[in-house]
Amino acid sequence: MLPTAEEAAQALRDIDLISHRAAGFQDYRAESGQLILWGLFYLVGFTLTFCFPAQALALWGVLLVGAVAIGIRLAMNSGAGGGIALRYLGLITTMVAFVVAVHVVFWPVSGEQSAMIAPVFVSALYILRGIQLRPRYTVIGLVLGTLCLGGYLFLLPVFWPWMAMACGGTLILAGLWLRSH
């Protein structure tokens, strides 16, 4: 007996749902490595800023170049297809340009204010990505933004160690969380 039109339509909807969920898990798996990488970037960056504040700009620059190189390699190994390296560089370049532009427009800013720009921007990006694509990204963005902003508002005496753990730790734990699903 052949399926009815409604049964066939339901089967197609079920296949589409399964396909969407499988793509989500693949996306989470690929993103997990990036989250861990950038969590380590922030963990090391904020820790070194705390230890060597006078060399902060040079330290962040070296860390950024290293993280981008590793990030491109991770992206290329994720099987995301051709052109991933250029898209990755475009994304990072856009983020860096945004941070530089905010510094130019709002200069002078304190070191703590400067340190908040990228994490808050990343938080907003994850919230938006979660709203449009995958709900777990919304959770990551909300946790990251809340912890970083809370540290800035209420924990300035221990801001740098807090940011190392709040920003770096959140991204690392989020990467492990996505990897486990």
Q: What is the pLDDT of residue 35?
A: 96
Q: What is the pLDDT of residue 12?
A: 54
Distance of CA 105 to CAs 26, 60, 108, Å?
A: 39, 21, 9
Q: What is the pLDDT of residue 133?
A: 85
Q: What is the pLDDT of residue 124?
A: 97
Amino acid at the residue 82: G
Going by pLDDT thresholds of 50, 70 and 90, the confidence category of residue 30 is confident
d(CA 12, CA 155): 53
Give pLDDT tens digits for 17-28: 554 444 444 567
Is the pLDDT at 32 greater than 50? The verdict is: yes
Q: What is the pLDDT of residue 27?
A: 60
- Count other Cβ atoms within 10 Å, centred on residue 36: 20
Q: Which two tokens stand for residue 127?
A: 């919230």
- Could you tell me what percent of the chain has a pLDDT over 70? 85
Q: Which range among 4-13, 58-67, 69-78, 155-164 shows the weakest confidence by mean pLDDT?
A: 4-13
Q: What is the pLDDT of residue 77?
A: 85
Give pLDDT tens digits for 127-173: 999 999 889 999 999 999 999 999 999 999 999 999 999 999 999 99
What residue spans define the domains of the chain? Answer: 22-179
